Amino acid sequence: MLDKLHEVERRFDSIEADFNNPAVVVNPKELQRLGKLRSELEPIVTTSREYRKAVGELEEAQEMLDDPEMREMAQAEIEPLRTRIAEYEQNLKRMLVPKDPLDDKPVIVEIRPAAGGDEAGLFASELLRMYMRYCERKRWKTELVEHEESGIGGLLRVVFNIDAQGAYSQLKFESGVHRVQRVPATESQGRIHTSTVTVAVLPEAEEVDLHIDPKELEISTFCSSSAGGQHMQKNETAIRIIHKPTGLVSTCQDERSQAQNKIKAMDVLRAKLLQMKQDEADAERSGIRKGQIGSGDRSEKIRTYNFPESRVTDHRIKVTIHNLSAFLDGDIQGMIDALIQDEQTRKLAEDDPQ
């Protein structure tokens, strides 16, 4: 750990020196890049220096034990110093856990009803509202890419993007099967039904992140079925793109022009391909299961929303929140923080098996 800390401090000092470089001062992009790096490293450097100071104070206190006149005072200082040093060490280990390189990315979110018919479609619309309310709380900009409604006010599919730095770091744990347990409005016997909805959170990929050969794409047009008046119904403005090597499909029909729909459909396809590439790399490195859920089977749930008991339980971290209405109104940060903490703990255990 000490070697890593020395390297971080060396990089931090180098960045500080660069801020005084005239060539850097006149380069806004470089200043922004260095500022971002500095803000990431500064908490580690500050804690590292406090840690070294505490270690030095402990060594001095231990030396004082040999002095009869100072022994009592030294003994009073040693235990609190040891406790403080242990806390610094734990915090530093957590800070040094490698950051997910995709964490700063904006995201594309896809929500689909899975098992449960109309009830799943209704719950999909509630999850869409939940994420939109969360984004409002964070003051994140959102934009619908595709929106297909069912006849009873539910959703068949929705895709939207969140244009905010760091959105992926907060929402990546939402990928998976979300299970709802409640009595549907149409249920006359009062029986609880179980339905599921799948959520996929994809880091938005730029062209520099991933090259797509145009020859590998099959692009077709069709008449939009979304709201937008006669113009959209008469003209084939909707776009469907198939990536032939993988079979991935991306569609967009919410924009009024074919060109705009094509741009958005490509953004979604690029994000899906980047996620697939990332999942394959993760599986190869550690053998862990892919993060994006495919079938929507009830047994694959990551989270349960239980309406009769007004609770939401995340099964990955065994955390339950007993305020379902607030959660569905976008108050999900507490659960997100718990998931982030769990990931950091697991990564720390992987880096330090002992």
Report which of residues 202 and 281 the model is more confident about. Answer: 202
Q: 144 and 73, same structural domain? A: no
Q: Please say which residue of 95, 115, 144 terminates a domain.
A: 95
Q: Are strands 155-163 and 193-203 parallel, antiparallel or unpaired?
A: unpaired
Bridge partners, 172 (sequence order)? none
pLDDT of residue 295: 47
Whole-angstrom distance, CA of residue 107 vs CA of residue 268: 10
Q: 47 and 113, same structural domain? A: no
Radius of gyration of the chain (CA): 26
Written as six digits, the tokens of 1 are: 């750990």
Q: 211 and 244, same structural domain? A: yes
CB 152 within 8 A of CB 124: no
Tell me what the mean pLDDT of segment 22-49 comes to. Answer: 88
Q: Please say which residue of 51, 71, 95 terminates a domain.
A: 95
Structural element, H or E, at residue 92: helix 71-95
Task: Look at the chain and report how many structural domains it folds into.
Answer: 2
Confidence of residue 24 (pLDDT cuts 50, 70, 90): confident
CA-nearest of 94, 15, 88, 14 to 47 is 88
Q: 268 and 181, same structural domain? A: yes
Could you give the C-alpha distances from 28 to 17, 31, 32, 33, 258, in angstroms and in order?
16, 5, 6, 9, 36
pLDDT of residue 282: 62
Provide the domain limits for residue 204: 107-345
Question: Is the pTM here over 0.75, yes or no?
Answer: no
CB 192 within 8 A of CB 308: yes
Q: 262 and 311, same structural domain? A: yes
Q: 210 and 84, same structural domain? A: no
Residue 121 maps to a domain: yes
Report which of residues 305 and 94 the model is more confident about. Answer: 305
Residue 173 maps to a domain: yes
CA-nearest of 147, 175, 150, 145 to 160 is 145
Confidence of residue 100 (pLDDT cuts 50, 70, 90): confident
Report which of residues 262 and 354 the model is more confident about. Answer: 262
Confidence of residue 116 (pLDDT cuts 50, 70, 90): confident
Whole-angstrom distance, CA of residue 188 vs CA of residue 27: 68
Residue 354 maps to a domain: no
CA-nearest of 167, 128, 164, 165 to 148 is 128
Q: 133 and 190, same structural domain? A: yes
pLDDT of residue 71: 87
Whole-angstrom distance, CA of residue 227 vs CA of residue 198: 24
Can you give the CATH number for the domain in which 116 is found?
Answer: 3.30.70.1660
Q: 173 and 50, same structural domain? A: no
Q: 257 and 120, same structural domain? A: yes
Distance of CA 241 to the CA centre of its chain: 26
Q: 114 and 78, same structural domain? A: no
Residue 178 maps to a domain: yes
Written as six digits, the tokens of 178 are: 């979300």
Q: 119 and 85, same structural domain? A: no
Q: 58 and 177, same structural domain? A: no
Whole-angstrom distance, CA of residue 39 vs CA of residue 52: 21
